[in-house]
Structure 1
Amino acid sequence: MIITSPLLGAAPGVRHAFFTREGGVSEGIYAGLNAGVGSNDDPAKVAENRRRMAAALGVAPEHFLTVHQVHSPDVAVAESPWAAASRPRADAIVTCTPGLAIGASAADCGPILFADPAARVIGAAHAGWKGALTGVLESTLDTMERLGADRSRVVAAIGPLIRQPSYEVGDEFVARFTAADPAYAAFFAAAERAGHAMFDLGGFIRMRLQTAGIGAIDDLGIDTYPDERFFSYRRTTHRNEPDYGRHVHAIVLDADA
């Protein structure tokens, strides 16, 4: 049910989890641990899945926090629990409050978990191509520093996401990136189809983190598209399924550290 980053797992006073589909109660196309409140799954089953995820991290369900993700560079600061109906519209959460599990929802996009154990500041970011390109990773680090972190001490773990062999895009997508910086052409490889390329989202995320001056990076290297342990928006699309499940990958500061 849980995959962890060895690097982040060695950080004192911090617990984290990259969840798979295993261990949940959802059925059909959502089979397993669907945490997507935006999916059309039975809300009671989603709530039970999220309760199990919260329990795995040692927090109450109301302390298992996510935002309404909008593919933006915006960051919410969590100081106390918020109701599901009043979730901030953002794509990252940062906190220095022990006992609040903060999570990034994903089903191909990049979930990144951050920690500065010395400052006891953590973050969770959702980085699809748009968020990564427009600065959600840098915004997360900026917000962590406002809470007392030092980015040179921050450890980041890049979780399961769609990888280059599975991520075919059109030339207009490539043009959007190279217009921002011609050097970004390095993150695209030739595709079999003319007018298309294969995008290295994981490599792009790593580069942005390195350029931002982060202390250490761990990449799990998992591709959500071929790996049936994970929900995948693109796999669902290719199968003409009507909807898809979502993961929440989360991190929490120990209350007794």
Structure 2
Amino acid sequence: MGTTVLPSPRLEQDLLGAIPVLTDNALARTLGVRVAFTGREGGVSDGCYGALNLGNHVNDDPAAVAENVARAARALGADPTEVLVANQVHGTRIVAVRDSGPAALQTARAEAAAGADGFIVTVPGALALLCFADCTPVILVSPSGSFAVAHAGWRGCVGGIASAAARALAEADQVSPAALNVYIGPHIGPCCFEVGDEVAVRFRDAFGSACVEGDGRHVSMAAAIAADLASAGVDGRRIVSAGVCTQCHPDRYFSYRASGGVCGRHGALAYRSER
């Protein structure tokens, strides 16, 4: 397993169907794996949820959310029945999906509904979707076509969810973590992510002083995640970050902080089609 050498990771703006995304087209051509970070455009929700809200827990119209999720699934070449979502709890639990088909997907959904912040998918035909509004989305892809999608809130980041996903994905595919591609999506940047002294100390203790900037209270989640991934053996040259702060760009991405806590959720999605 894992003999393909992945193209160097990159994130480029593209239109999948009617949905603008950040994606890696070379990866999709090489491996049949489509990764995508959505923004606010391309959906049917109104008001503060406009337009492509993918979160079903924020008091948006459930029918609108279902349509948005279906549009996102089809944009990646998936059937809406193949979508996996999680009850995200700002933790480090990752659900593994090793079989395809309706029964296996339903089992994975039930596990994720109990509380999870990541998926590892080793089979085609399952689309992993996690939702964000300032927290950090991380997608990891193995040379075999297996992938992981993780939700790194600050607690999950300090808890090592990114490195846990890397180790588990590499172990599942029997490859070196250095062979993985990693994509970090739009999230709150160090320009806006000011934390208390106690949280800043936890980041410094876990990942070193380089992830805490300025006055010592502004955290770079990208730097922290890169350090965490390095501890698992991930090659830093195979990590790419969108470099977009969600709080600075609430017109393009949902931001919990910018909106005062009432907003939709954009998504990190990954899917491997049968080839």
TM-score, length basis structure 2: 0.83
The 5 Å alignment of 1:11-26 reads 11-26=30-45
Q: Report % sequence identity.
A: 33
Match of 1:189 among 213, 233, 244: 213
Are 1:64 and 1:101, in contact at CA under 8 Å, matched by a contact in 2?
A: yes
Q: Provide the rounded CA distance (Å) in 2 between the counterparts of 1:32 and 1:235.
A: 17
Other structure's SS at 1:248 match: strand
1:48 aligns with 2:67: yes
Q: Equivalents in 2 of 1:108, 1:251: separation in Å? A: 19
Matched, 1:231 2:250: no
Deviations 1:43-99 (A, max 9, x none): 110000000000001111121212111111111012332289735121110011102
Of 218, 222, 232, which aligns to 1:202? 222
| Contact 2:84–2:105, Cα closer than 8 Å, also in 1 | yes
The within-5 A match list for 1:21-32 is: 21-32=40-51
Structure 2 Cα separation of the partners of residues 246 and 177 of structure 1: 25
1:93 aligns with 2:119: yes
More off after superposition, 29-38 vs 247-256: 247-256
**Counterpart in 2 of 1:220?**
242
- Counterparts of 1:139-150 in structure 2 under 5 Å? 139-150=164-175
Query: Structure 1 residue 221: deviation in Å?
Result: 0.7
Moved segments of 4+, more than 4 Å: 6-11
Q: How far does the alpha carbon of each residue in 1:197-242 deviate from its partner, in whole angstroms, 9 at most, with x for none?
A: 21111111112112221141111111111112100111112xxx6x
Is the contact between residue 163 and residue 231 of structure 2 (CA under 8 Å) also seen in structure 1? no
Q: State the Cα distance separating 1:175 from its structure 2 match.
A: 2.6
Take 1:25 and 1:127, find their aligned partners in 2: how far apart are those partners? 27
Letter matched to residue 194 of structure 2: E
Structure 1 unaligned spans of 5+: none
How far does the alpha carbon of each residue in 1:81-119 deviate from its partner, in whole angstroms, 9 at most, with x for none?
A: 2289735121110011102111221111111111112x2
- The unaligned stretches of length 5 or more in structure 2 are 1-19
Distance 1:233 1:8 in 2: 31
1:121 aligns with 2:140: no
SS at match of 2:140: strand
Count matched residues. 245
Q: Is the 8 A contact 1:72 1:91 kept in 2?
A: yes
- Aligned amino acid, residue 243 of structure 2: G
Greater Cα shift, 8-17 or 61-70: 8-17
1:70 aligns with 2:94: no
Equivalent of residue 247 in structure 1, options 234, 251, 266: 266
**1:190 shift after superposition:** 3.1
